[in-house]
């Protein structure tokens, strides 16, 4: 299957990049075709422009060639993997902006003949979220884990209820031992290889 791995961390030596590399290894070991989109490396602009917002409700909602390229990759993927750190109880701004600019009408969703919203990514079979948190799991739960809700619930609505969702999290990242971090990366690779 075609896999799109979206990475949202500015530092190449980050744990998020190590987790993305583990995910890619596992997916490739399983025989999947993998495309990696590193949002920071590609200089993806998070903010939707006034012109893009005006075009949102038209037949051509994508104005930026980079956004169009990402939308095309999204349309080809059966597996979506998002790797990012949880900051301020949610997605990094660049990933939130990616969702807002790429998941436009005609890509993330469509309207049927009655004007009802329908999934635009019905071809996606699996969504995987991989994140690390500075906080303990109980604290993350207390503040609603907004990033996870976006990936596992809102995004899933663009794919359909048959799309399976997996979540992998390393909590209390700042206090995690090297052994615990290594075990998490091994688990990511193993679970991706099992898809």
pLDDT of residue 190: 97
Question: Which pTM does this prediction carry?
Answer: 0.94
Query: What's the rounded Cα separation, in Å, for the pair 79 and 127?
Result: 6
pLDDT of residue 112: 85
The answer to whether 33 touches 78, Cβ cutoff 8 Å, is no
pLDDT of residue 14: 96
Is residue 92 classed exposed, middle or buried when 0-12, 13-18 and 19+ CB atoms within 10 A define those classes?
buried
E strand or H helix at 56: none
Contacts of 191 (CB under 8 A, 6+ apart): 26, 166, 168
Would you state the structure tokens that stand for residue 91, as one six-digit string? Answer: 């997605």
E strand or H helix at 160: none
pLDDT in tens, 131-173: 998 887 888 787 888 899 999 999 998 998 899 999 999 999 9
Would you state the structure tokens that stand for residue 66, as one six-digit string? Answer: 């980079």
Would you state the structure tokens that stand for residue 174, as one six-digit string? Answer: 């700042």
pLDDT of residue 115: 81
SS (H, E, C) 49-90: CHHHHHHCCCCCCCCCHHHHHHHHHHHHCCEEEEEEECECCE
Quick one: what percent of the chain has pLDDT higher than 70?
A: 100
Domains present along the chain, CATH in parentheses:
2-193 (3.40.50.360)
pLDDT in tens, 98-122: 999 999 999 999 888 888 888 999 9
Length of the chain: 195
Please tell me the least confidently modeled range out of 3-12, 45-54, 155-164, 165-174: 155-164
Torsion sign across C-alpha atoms 37, 40, 45, 48: positive
- Judged against a pLDDT cut of 90, whether residue 44 lies above it is answered with yes
Torsion sign across C-alpha atoms 182, 84, 80, 157: positive
Comparing CA positions, the residue from 80, 46, 89, 85 lying closest to residue 151 is 80
pLDDT of residue 137: 81
Q: How confident is the model at residue 23 (pLDDT cuts 50, 70, 90)?
A: very high
Mean pLDDT of 1-26: 97
Mean pLDDT of 81-96: 96
């Amino acid at each position: 299957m075609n896999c799109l791995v979206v990475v949202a961390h500015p530092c190449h030596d980050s744990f998020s990049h190590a987790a993305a590399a583990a995910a890619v290894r596992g997916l490739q070991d399983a025989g999947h075709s993998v495309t990696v989109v590193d949002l920071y490396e590609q200089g993806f602009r998070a903010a939707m422009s006034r012109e893009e917002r005006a075009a949102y409700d038209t037949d051509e909602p994508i104005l930026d060639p980079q956004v169009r390229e990402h939308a095309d990759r999204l349309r080809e993927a059966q597996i979506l993997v998002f790797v990012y750190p949880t900051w301020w109880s949610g997605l990094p701004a660049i990933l939130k902006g990616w969702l807002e600019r790429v998941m436009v009408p005609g890509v993330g969703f469509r309207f049927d003949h009655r004007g009802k919203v329908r999934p635009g990514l019905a071809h996606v079979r699996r969504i995987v979220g991989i994140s690390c948190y500075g906080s303990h799991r109980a604290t993350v739960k207390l503040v609603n884990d907004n990033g996870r809700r976006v990936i596992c619930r809102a995004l899933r609505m663009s794919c359909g209820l048959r799309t399976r969702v997996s979540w992998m999290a390393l909590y209390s990242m700042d206090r995690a031992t090297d052994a615990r971090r290594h075990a998490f990366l091994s688990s990511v690779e193993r679970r991706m290889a099992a898809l």
